[in-house]
Amino acid sequence: MKSILFDLDGTLTDSGEGIINCASLALRELGLDVPDRKAMRAFVGPPLRETFQKFGVKPEDTERAVAIYRSRYVPIGMFENTPYPAIHAMLAALKDGGHQLYVATSKPEAMATAILERFHLAQYFHLICGATMDDSRDSKDKVIGYLLQRMDPSHQIIMIGDTTFDVIGAASHGISTIAVAWGYGDPQEMRRHGAIAVAESPAQLLQMLL
């Protein structure tokens, strides 16, 4: 039996539209330039506060940027989102195979749970673990560390994600990662950071995990 940790944004659901729209609003409200949507894809996956600062938000303005982002994200943006094709079938097959499935995301936990419930994905997971609303648990390594305290230590554990944040966060706890090619990161960069394989589709990922 395996314990399989899944990232959310860019791995289970294509959440880019809502995230980019909300981050763009925050940058505009702070009087900053909004790059093209390709550049704004960098907001999908990493911790929000850290990414805002990379786009020119001053440290003292970071909480304001987050507040503006969430003012749109909670009622609208988090549902500008859709599960990737074949995700339901893959998760159902893994759960039916006796594996324990978990979500490990740097998105706030309440938001992640609401999204997974909206798209009928929550049913597959033993536990959904995300960030806190403050910065006490906002990175992938902190989320995974918190989750590991609530898991069966006898199981083989593997991480599934679409960015180097997933690879590095999992590796900090001695966990290997399979990269997915359909998300927002660079699979080859993930390989360079230690991903043990790259799955081109949910069907291929299922074969690897089984």
**Residues labelled as active-site residues:** 7
Q: How many CA atoms lie within 13 A of 56 on its CB side?
A: 13
Query: What SS3 class is residue 126?
Result: coil
Terminal alpha carbon distance of the chain: 10
List, in order, residues 6 or more apart from 48 with CB less than 8 Å away.
23, 66, 69, 106, 138
Alpha helices in 47-201 (DSSP H): 48-54, 62-73, 87-96, 109-118, 140-148, 164-171, 187-192
Tokens of 49: 């506060």
Which pair of tokens denotes residue 18? 């809502």
φ, ψ for residue 154 (rounded to 5)? -80, -15
86 Ramachandran zone, left/alpha/beta (phi>0; psi -120 to 50): left
